[in-house]
């Protein structure tokens, strides 16, 4: 490995030894940008890599809220403002009990390159809390969001940092967060948050954007191989917002999600989740707490397999992990390789462990596409929401959808081109890292050293 890269990687590991998720993504990104580092010896003199792996700012704060029994709770809030070389910090908020500073740094680092890949002027960032919205009443969620924003507001704004949703933060939470922002600020700065409901300044298609974009990306991958998406069978994990978008768009284009997994096991529906009735039932299941996919089997008379995942399905063309990080480890990767499936399209942020990713990429019959490219349509439509808010108008679905298409096609193309340019052949994983990295590095080099 390039000596500069090797040194920075070793220093980063030593400095952040207790942050395995963050180190996992740093290692994954840095190990694939070697050709670019070799081509730019000036990066070392500018300490570019050392600056890139260090967040510009890390904010950690106390969030105190009262439950319905008038009992107080203390949670931890975070915002990791990683890199704003390309534009205001942009990234979601995740509310989940397993959120730590490590989770925030891993997601924030990934977001830098994802946001760069969109070609839009947004920097990389992530935030959240170890608060678990599951099992909480509406009033409890509202009071938590208000307490969270009361501190976060000091650090954000339409030109500074624009939070949005992520796991555990949907339209309801964004509404409460933005409401508190507006109350404190005394100004309707709509562009201070995205993922807002369309009734309160949001963009049409934002809820569907991540899932739809993933399918648009898949279409490009298939086109490259002379194939059409119609008739393809997909296995996915998750049935939340993103997974639902995949199901809906796949059905519209004549493909079908025939397997999907939830926390309780997986569903096999050979006909696919393609009818309006089934898609609506997914929405109903999604609103339940806790989320379980077994009711789908009871309702539609299909197979439910408890306590396991569907990554060894043999009768599908495409696998799309769309639930959470490290969903696919080495054990599953071996089953995927043996199943004969041809496309492994990551959707959730970092759904594959690094060893499994390396192994899957080595399989000649398998095409691997990385999440930071595939799921980038969510943040892209967030940026389109910012643009609409700044211009004080709304675009219609046709206009937003056309832009989504263009952005996803560009992401696919720029990734494939970057890999080709650096002699790596058709490698969409390295290509996405190279293309995103180049954009951030160029902007950082233009702005001087700080
Ligand atoms: N949380 C989403 C992501 O991982 C969306 C971020 C945004 O819309 O700002 O990209």
What's the pLDDT at 4?
98
What's the pLDDT at 291?
87
Instruction: Say yes or no to pLDDT of 368 above 90.
Output: yes
Check if the beta carbon of residue 378 is closer than 8 Å to that of residue 179.
no
Instruction: Say yes or no to pLDDT of 290 above 90.
Output: no
What's the pLDDT at 10?
98
* Whether residues 91 and 118 fall in one domain: yes
Structure tokens at 353: 């462990």
What does the alpha-carbon distance between residue 342 and residue 178 come to, in Å, rounded to a whole number?
43
Q: Report whether residue 211 contacts ligand 1, using a CB cutoff of 6 Å.
A: no
What domain range includes position 73? 57-200
Catalytic residue among 90, 105, 114, 126: 126
Q: Report whether residue 91 contacts ligand 1, using a CB cutoff of 6 Å.
A: yes
Which CATH number fits the domain that encloses residue 337?
Answer: 3.40.50.720
* Whether residues 243 and 155 fall in one domain: no
Is 13 annotated as catalytic?
no
* Whether residues 218 and 188 fall in one domain: no
Distance 143 CA to ligand 1 centre (A): 23
Is 40 contained in some domain? no
Q: Report whether residue 383 contacts ligand 1, using a CB cutoff of 6 Å.
A: no
* 134-162: average pLDDT: 98
Mutation pick for ligand 1 pocket among 123, 202, 382 (CB with most ligand atoms within 8 Å): 382
What's the pLDDT at 396?
98
* 54-74: average pLDDT: 98
Q: Which helix (H) or strand (E) holds 94?
A: strand 89-95
* Whether residues 181 and 89 fall in one domain: yes
The pTM of the whole model exceeds 0.85: yes
Is 34 contained in some domain? no
Mutation pick for ligand 1 pocket among 25, 126, 166, 214 (CB with most ligand atoms within 8 Å): 166
Is 396 contained in some domain? no
Q: Which of 145, 173, 200 is the last residue of a domain?
A: 200
* Whether residues 192 and 254 fall in one domain: no
Structure tokens at 79: 């915002």
- Calculate the average pLDDT of the chain: 97
* Whether residues 194 and 68 fall in one domain: yes
Q: Which of 176, 200, 224 is the last residue of a domain?
A: 200
Cβ-Cβ contacts under 8 Å for 398 (sequence gap 6 or more): none
Cβ-Cβ contacts under 8 Å for 73 (sequence gap 6 or more): 64, 65, 66, 67
* Whether residues 366 and 259 fall in one domain: yes
Helices (H), 363-396: 371-374, 377-391
Is 415 contained in some domain? no
Q: Report whether residue 206 contacts ligand 1, using a CB cutoff of 6 Å.
A: no
What's the pLDDT at 391?
98
* Whether residues 216 and 365 fall in one domain: yes
What's the pLDDT at 89?
98
Placement of tokens 């009734």 in the chain: 199
What are the backbone angles phi and psi of residue 227, rounded to the nearest 5°?
Answer: -115, 160
For 375-401, the pLDDT digits (tens) are 999 999 999 999 999 999 999 999 999
pLDDT confidence tier of residue 342, bands split at 50, 70 and 90: very high
pLDDT confidence tier of residue 289, bands split at 50, 70 and 90: confident
Instruction: Say yes or no to pLDDT of 287 above 90.
Output: no
Is 142 contained in some domain? yes
Q: Which of 171, 200, 229 is the last residue of a domain?
A: 200
Closest Cα to residue 201, out of 429, 382, 405? 382
What does the alpha-carbon distance between residue 410 and residue 407 come to, in Å, rounded to a whole number?
5
Distance 375 CA to ligand 1 centre (A): 9
* Whether residues 78 and 185 fall in one domain: yes
What's the pLDDT at 230?
98
Instruction: Say yes or no to pLDDT of 254 above 90.
Output: yes
Name the closest-CA residue to atom 8, ligand 1.
379
**Per the omega criterion (within 30 degrees of 0), is the bond before 314 cis?**
no
What's the pLDDT at 407?
98
pLDDT confidence tier of residue 239, bands split at 50, 70 and 90: confident
Is 94 contained in some domain? yes
Which CATH number fits the domain that encloses residue 82?
Answer: 3.40.50.10860
What does the alpha-carbon distance between residue 415 and residue 436 come to, in Å, rounded to a whole number?
8
What's the pLDDT at 5?
97
Q: Report whether residue 118 contacts ligand 1, using a CB cutoff of 6 Å.
A: no
* Whether residues 288 and 361 fall in one domain: yes
Q: Which helix (H) or strand (E) holds 432?
A: helix 428-446
What are the backbone angles phi and psi of residue 51, rounded to the nearest 5°?
Answer: -70, -40
What does the alpha-carbon distance between residue 105 and residue 71 come to, in Å, rounded to a whole number?
31
What does the alpha-carbon distance between residue 4 and residue 414 come to, in Å, rounded to a whole number?
26
What's the pLDDT at 82?
98
For the chain, how many residues are written? 450
Strand order in the sheet with 233-237: 303-306, 265-268, 256-262, 233-237, 318-321, 343-345, 367-369
Name the closest-CA residue to atom 9, ligand 1.
91
Structure tokens at 96: 């989940």
Is 237 contained in some domain? yes
What are the backbone angles phi and psi of residue 261, rounded to the nearest 5°?
Answer: -120, 150
Q: Report whether residue 371 contacts ligand 1, using a CB cutoff of 6 Å.
A: no
* Whether residues 340 and 271 fall in one domain: yes
Cβ-Cβ contacts under 8 Å for 353 (sequence gap 6 or more): 24, 326, 328, 329, 330
Check if the beta carbon of residue 336 is closer than 8 Å to that of residue 319.
yes
What's the pLDDT at 64?
98
Query: How many folded domains does the chain comprise?
Result: 2
* Whether residues 318 and 342 fall in one domain: yes
Is 369 contained in some domain? yes
Q: Report whether residue 104 contacts ligand 1, using a CB cutoff of 6 Å.
A: no
Instruction: Say yes or no to pLDDT of 253 above 90.
Output: yes
* 106-118: average pLDDT: 98
Range scoring the smallest mean pLDDT among 148-162, 288-302, 405-419, 431-445: 288-302
What does the alpha-carbon distance between residue 92 and residue 79 come to, in Å, rounded to a whole number?
10
What's the pLDDT at 382?
98
């Amino acid at each position: 490995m390039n000596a500069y890269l090797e040194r920075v990687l070793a220093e980063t590991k030593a400095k952040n030894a207790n942050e395995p998720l963050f180190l996992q993504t740093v290692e994954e990104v840095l190990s694939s940008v070697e050709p670019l580092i070799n081509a730019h010896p000036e990066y070392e003199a500018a300490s570019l890599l050392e600056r890139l792996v260090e967040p510009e700012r890390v904010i950690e704060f106390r969030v105190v809220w009262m439950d319905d029994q008038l009992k107080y709770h203390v949670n931890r809030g975070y915002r990791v403002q990683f890199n704003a070389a390309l534009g205001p910090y942009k990234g979601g908020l995740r509310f989940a009990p397993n959120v730590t500073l490590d989770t925030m740094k891993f997601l924030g680092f990934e977001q830098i390159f994802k946001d760069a890949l969109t070609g839009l002027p947004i920097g990389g960032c992530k935030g959240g809390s170890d608060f678990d919205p599951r099992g909480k009443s509406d009033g409890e969620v509202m009071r938590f969001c208000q307490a969270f924003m009361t501190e976060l507001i000091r650090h954000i704004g339409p030109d500074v940092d624009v939070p949005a949703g992520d796991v555990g933060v949907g339209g309801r939470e964004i509404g409460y967060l933005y409401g508190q922002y507006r109350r404190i600020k005394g100004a309707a700065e709509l562009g201070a948050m995205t993922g807002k409901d369309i009734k309160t300044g949001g963009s049409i298609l934002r809820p569907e954007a991540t899932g739809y974009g993933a399918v648009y990306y898949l279409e490009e991958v298939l086109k490259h191989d002379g194939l059409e998406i119609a008739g393809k069978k997909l296995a996915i994990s998750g049935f939340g917002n993103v997974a639902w978008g995949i199901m809906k768009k796949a059905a519209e284009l004549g493909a079908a999600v025939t397997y999907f997994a939830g926390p309780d096991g997986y569903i096999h529906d050979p006909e696919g989740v393609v009818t309006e009735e089934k898609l609506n039932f997914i929405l109903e299941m999604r609103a339940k707490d806790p989320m379980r996919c077994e009711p789908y089997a009871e309702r539609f008379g299909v197979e439910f397999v408890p306590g396991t995942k569907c990554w060894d399905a043999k009768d599908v063309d495409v696998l799309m992990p769309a639930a959470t990080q490290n969903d696919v480890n080495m054990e599953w990767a071996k089953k995927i390789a043996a199943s004969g499936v041809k496309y492994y399209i990551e959707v959730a942020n970092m759904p594959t462990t690094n060893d499994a990713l390396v192994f899957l990429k080595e399989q000649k019959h398998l095409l691997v596409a990385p999440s930071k490219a595939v799921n980038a349509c969510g943040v892209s439509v967030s940026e389109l929401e910012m643009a609409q808010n700044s211009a004080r108008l709304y675009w219609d679905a046709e206009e937003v959808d056309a832009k989504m298409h263009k952005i996803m096609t560009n992401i696919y193309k720029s990734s494939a081109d970057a890999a080709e340019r650096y002699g790596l052949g058709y490698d969409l994983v390295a290509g996405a890292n190279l293309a995103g990295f180049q954009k951030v590095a160029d902007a950082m080099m233009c702005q001087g050293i700080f």
